Amino acid sequence: MLKKNKAQKAPKAPKVKKHKGKIVGLVILGIVVLAVVGGSVYYKYMYSKAYVQAVMDINMTWVLSDSSSEGVIQDAATQNIYWDATSDITEVYVKKGDTVAVGDKLFQYDTESLELQVEQAKLSLDVANYNLSVAKQTLENTGKATIVPSEKAQEEEIKKIDKQNEEALKKAEEETEANQEKANAEYKAAHELTYTGITTNATGTGTEADPWVYTCNDESAIISQSTVQEFIDKSEWAVLKGNRTDENGASVPYEYKIGGVPFTSEYRLVATMKDYSFTPVTPVVPTETKYPEYDPKGLTENEKKEQTASDEIGIKKAENAVKSAQINLDDAKRRLSEATVTAKIAGVVLTMGDYKNPPQDGSAFITISSQNGLAVTGYVSELQLDSMKEGDEIAINSWESGAYATATITEVSSYPAANYDGWSNGNSNVSWYPYTAYIENADGFKTGEYVQISKVMEENTDAIVLEKIYVRSDDNGNYVLADNGKGRLVKKPVTVKNTSESEYVQITDGLTLDDMIAFPYGSKAKEGIKTTTQMSVFDMLF
């Protein structure tokens, strides 16, 4: 029985794998890799350069142009005039109870003594400037001083040269002696007649009574030391006989006995019976090492460094002395210009001292009280003291009522306040001086209230004020990190001055508005690193 064939199944189509997802994943991965690599390259490129910016772009001159402080309104405006103990009062124009207007004469100081004080102050300034010039010249001379070895090193060098010269002299003497011996040998070989035996050309038995007798027919004949030594060693005697030519040219017989004494090369017998010595050779001149000539005014490297530091301190002291002398001169000129003391406010003379016996307890010589208006007491930083003078106007704002008024400064104290820290500026390292101002129109203000006092001064556009963080210091002083003009960071020395704002300093020397400086902290804050004016993301963040 035939089996039925089972129906054959159609072959299945091969499965198609889906690669689309993997391709997309690879593309994304490539983008990520490129981003990481590119970011890494950019990071390394930017991280290797220091960002610099122009000083003018970060200059904060407003710090110098704004002056503000806290003040208190007082009951009545008063003007206290204190006696200047350095001057004499020659005339008084008012008395207690008098009514005075602004500008009225109160009293007169002796102008002759004040003029003398000005001249003395000028002389002191001249002396201070001269001392400064001497200090600068001293530093310049130190810079030109020759560097010399230390005293110990000089002694060692001299000993070394002494030894070299001794060795050179010894070598020269040895060479001279060798040359002499060579010359002697050459002469001996050419001229010496040597007798090799005691019986050669001789008669006799060698005793003192019957010596050996040698006949010398050559006037230049020499008997050798070895032959003579044979006579001496054997205690034998010998006689040299011959003829020599005298000074007249005649032949004269001679006889010379040998025996009993050493016969060295220095004393050779010749036919003429004269002591003979070889012609000396020219001595060898030693090569002498010259001794160094040290500058008696020279300094060792350490001495020069120490002297330079000392000279720089001397310059700083001299500069301070010049500043002090200038302040004294300015003060003397001010007192001379203010020799005639006038009223700053209108009012009544409440107190009047005796000008022939002025008060010595610190109390006012004259006190004027205003019949109208109020007064305000404020404070000014020592850094801005020169900008607040009697007669200047200030602005006053009431925190309570919002009232606004102007006031005229009538007095600025010569002494700082003991318990005031400058609330508005926060610089605890400076002193604050109290001053009083007269408010003629005091509407809206009341006694005892606190007010804000401000004085806006003309801005100095040439000044440079930076955040203190941009200035660093080392053993050589203050500096900023600046571009050297060739794309590299260098330390640039600067001179700084404090401001009323504790976080800012004024650059008084060493920097211009066009200089490019860098933030002086971080891994890129070092000399020699390349600079860029392109700010990176990392510079923005940090």
Share of the chain above pLDDT 90, in %: 27
Give per-residue pLDDT as tens, 143-153. Answer: 988 888 888 88
535, two tokens: 């700010």
pLDDT for 283: 86
Phi, psi (5° rounding) for residue 537? Answer: -60, -35
Share of the chain above pLDDT 70, in %: 71
Ranges of H-type helices in 199-300:
225-233
Classify domain 52-61+463-541 at the CATH topology level. Answer: 2.40.420
The sign one gets for the Cα dihedral 454, 457, 459, 460 is negative
The span from the CA of 435 to the CA of 520, in Å, is: 40
The sign one gets for the Cα dihedral 91, 95, 96, 98 is negative
| Homologous superfamily assigned to 65-108+342-456 | Efflux pump adaptor protein, beta barrel domain (2.40.30.170)
The span from the CA of 533 to the CA of 420, in Å, is: 44
What mean pLDDT value characterizes the chain?
Answer: 77
Instruction: Return the SS3 of 3.
Output: coil
DSSP 83-149: --TTS-EEEE---TT-EE-TT-EEEEE-HHHHHHHHHHHHHHHHHHHHHHHHHHHHHHHHHHPPB--
Helix (H), strand (E) at residue 184: helix 151-191
Distances (CA, A) of 167 to 155, 162, 164, 255: 18, 9, 5, 49
**Beta-ladder partners of 368:** 79, 349
Q: Which amino acid is at 393?
A: E
Q: Where are the domains of the chain?
A: 52-61+463-541, 65-108+342-456, 111-146+300-338, 149-294
Give per-residue pLDDT as tens, 348-406. Answer: 998 888 888 877 776 788 988 887 778 898 888 887 777 788 888 888 999 888 889 98
Q: Are 348 and 368 in contact (CB under 8 A)?
A: yes
Q: In 153-222, which ranges are E strands?
A: 202-203, 212-216
pLDDT of the chain, 542 residues: tens digit per residue: 333 344 444 444 444 444 455 555 655 665 655 555 455 545 554 557 899 999 999 998 877 765 667 889 887 777 888 888 778 888 999 999 999 998 899 999 999 989 999 999 999 999 999 999 999 999 999 998 888 888 888 888 899 999 999 999 999 999 988 888 887 777 655 544 444 333 345 677 777 777 777 666 555 455 555 666 666 666 667 776 666 666 777 776 666 565 533 333 333 333 223 333 456 778 888 888 888 888 888 888 888 899 999 999 999 999 999 999 999 999 899 889 989 999 888 889 988 888 888 777 767 889 888 877 788 988 888 877 777 888 888 889 998 888 899 888 888 887 777 666 655 445 566 788 888 888 888 888 988 899 988 875 555 667 899 999 999 998 888 999 999 999 999 999 999 988 767 788 899 999 999 999 999 988 888 899 999 998 765 555 54
pLDDT for 205: 76
Q: Are 185 and 210 in contact (CB under 8 A)?
A: no
pTM of the full structure: 0.45
The span from the CA of 337 to the CA of 301, in Å, is: 53
Query: Can 52-61+463-541 and 65-108+342-456 be said to share one CATH topology?
Result: no
